[in-house]
Structures are given as structure tokens and as C-alpha cells.
Amino acid sequence: MSGLILHNYAMSPFAEKMRSMLGYSQLEWQSVTHREMPPRPMLARLAGGYRKIPVAQIGADVFCDTRVIASEIAALSNKPLLALENCSPDVQAFVKEVDLEVFFACIMAGGSKRLRDKVRQSMSLLDIARFAWDRINMGRTAKVKMPGPRSAMPKVLAHLQRMEGLIKQDFLFGTEPCHGDFSAYHSLWFIRDLGERSFINDYPNTIAWMDRMKAFGHGKRIDISAEAALEQARAAQPRPIQADYLQDALIGKQVSIAPSDYGRDATTGKLVGSSPQRWILARESGDLGTVHVHFPKQGFAVSAV
């Protein structure tokens, strides 16, 4: 077993990005299902103030954001192109666009009666109201501009047209999938598989590529409770910090790290590691002891407390 735990919920597009990547990698992994919006008290004991889903965990090491989670999956599965930092500049630029601008346009364009029915089946009316209010408040503090209903569909259609031209082989950038494929897939999964919007069927190359991505499945998933995940953290020690992670001037100081785009709630702790791609915070979490929380540098900001 890889030891990797994914904290997720079923209808999260970014969680689907990681579930699909785990399917491709064929790693055995453990799944903890959380509610669709904070508060998530069990998860907060691991990740502090970080509010987004998914979060991954290996013992007492906690990984926030799909960039860092993907790097862990790449290392565990020996598939280096799953890590964004191992991809070409063209792929990295593509991912930056589709994980923000295209993603939000797809969320707006994916709305449908079928999606609303699925939401009603999976959530109570009270939780639906709480979810809507949570997302409204998150949008108020976001530093990215959310597309309106009128501008979302043209952006999605332009993206689909671009996808049609990109798919010249089995995958977007070659004969095997890379991080870029999974970044493009999860937004369109929201439109096709959750929203069941028919307009996407006008793009046959994209549909065939999506079918290849969907065929990876979710791999060897084992469902566990949040309590079992906390017990794994309690029984473990964070992995040692590499010597080349100790060069930052803020090492050893109390800092706050938060996303710089949206969902900008901060996590505080002592900075114990810094590489070109990530920061590592040490947090003392009650009876769990010390946990190390990993954040990507891209899309996040650090400040001294």
C-alpha cells in the first residue's frame, strides 16, 4: 500500500483530478469523505486553516493543493510527468490557464437540471443553502475574476475548440498522459459527467480523449473514516526534512501560508522546509503531535507572523 490518504468528496472536480491520477498510477490509496464545505473539524486538525478539497496525507505529512499531491503521486508511482514541475513550460502555462480561468467558466457552464438533481440527492436542503452561502463568501475575497453566465459559455466553447486541435495523439501532449491531461479533464468532467450537458458532444476528439481518461478509473481505493486517518497521523512522525530544504531565511520562524487566488484562509506554523516548489510548515495539533503541512509555492503566499 502507498500509504496515501485522499481527503475528498464525490462531486469535487479537483478531487476527481486526483482520483483519476490515482487510477492511472494504479496505486492503492485510502479515501476519507468530508462534507462539501467547512467547517471540517477532523480535516482542520491536520491542515489547519486550509479550506480547500482535496487534501492528501501520508502518516503525519499533509499535502495541500493538487500540485503538491500530484508530485507525491508521481514519486510514489514512478511517473514523473504527473508532477507539474517535471512538465515542459508549454504544459505549465496550459495548466495555469485551465486550473483557474477555464475551470471557473466550466463550473458556470456546467449547471443543469441533472446537476441540480444530483446535488439534491447528495445534500440536504440546509447544506445546499450553506454551500451556496459559503461559495458566495469565498468569491467576495477571491483575487481572481469569476466569469459571469454570459461570458462563461464562449470561454468554454473556445477551450473545447482548442482541445480539438491539441488532441493529435492519444493524449494532449504525447502518447502518455501528463499533468496537463488531468488538469484539463476535471473541468470537462464537471460538464459532461456531472452536468450531462450535451453541447460537449459536438467535439468528438475531446469526447474520445475524455473516454480514455475516464477508463483509468480511480484505482485501488479503500474507504476509511476520518478517525482512522487521524490515528495514522498520531502513530507516525513527519518524514525528515532534506538538507537542501533548509536555506530559506524564514526557516524556524512562525509564518502564515494561504492561497493567493481564492479560498484564502491561512494556516500558521513554524516554517521547517523550503524548496523551489514547496513550503513545509510544522504544526502542533493536540494529541496528534507534530504534523508537517506541505504547500506549493505557485499560487500561495507566505508571511511572517
Q: Report whether 266 contacts 44 (CB < 8 A).
A: no
DSSP string, 92-115: HHHHHHIIIIIHHHHHHHT--HHH
Q: What is the DSSP letter of 171?
A: B
Residue 198, all three cell numbers? 450535451
How distant, in Å, are the alpha carbons of 9, 22, 41 from that of 32? 8, 15, 13
CA distances from 304 to 123, 283, 300 (A): 39, 15, 14
Please give the pLDDT value at position 173: 96
Secondary structure of residue 203 in the 3-state scheme: coil
Determine contact, residues 19/29, Cβ cutoff 8 Å: no
Q: Which amino acid is at 294?
A: H
pLDDT, one tens digit per residue, over 217-250 is 999 999 999 999 999 999 999 999 999 999 999 9
Residue listed under C-alpha cell 536555506: 247
CA 112 to chain CA centroid, nearest Å: 23
Mention every residue, 6+ apart, whose C-beta is less than 8 A from residue 156.
102, 105, 106, 109, 191
**Length of the chain in residues, anyone?**
305
Rounded Cα–Cα distance for residues 221 and 135 (Å) = 29
Domains of the chain: 87-214 (1.20.1050.10)
- Based on the number of CB atoms within 10 Å of its own CB, is 210 exposed (0-12), middle (13-18) or buried (19 or more)? buried
Residue 103, C-beta contacts closer than 8 angstroms, at least 6 positions apart: 13, 186, 187
pLDDT for 1 equals 61
Distance CA 266, CA 50 (A): 6
What pLDDT is stored for residue 138 in this prediction? 79
Query: Which three cell numbers, joined as nine digits, stand for 265?
Result: 484562509
CB 55 within 8 A of CB 7: yes
Residue 148 has what pLDDT? 80
Q: Which residues pair with 269 in a beta bridge?
A: 255
Q: Which residues of the chain have pLDDT under 50?
A: none
**Could you tell me the pTM of the whole model?**
0.95
Cα–Cα distance measured from residue 206 to residue 226, given in angstroms and rounded to the nearest whole number = 37
3 state DSSP class of 295: strand
Residue 137 has what pLDDT? 80
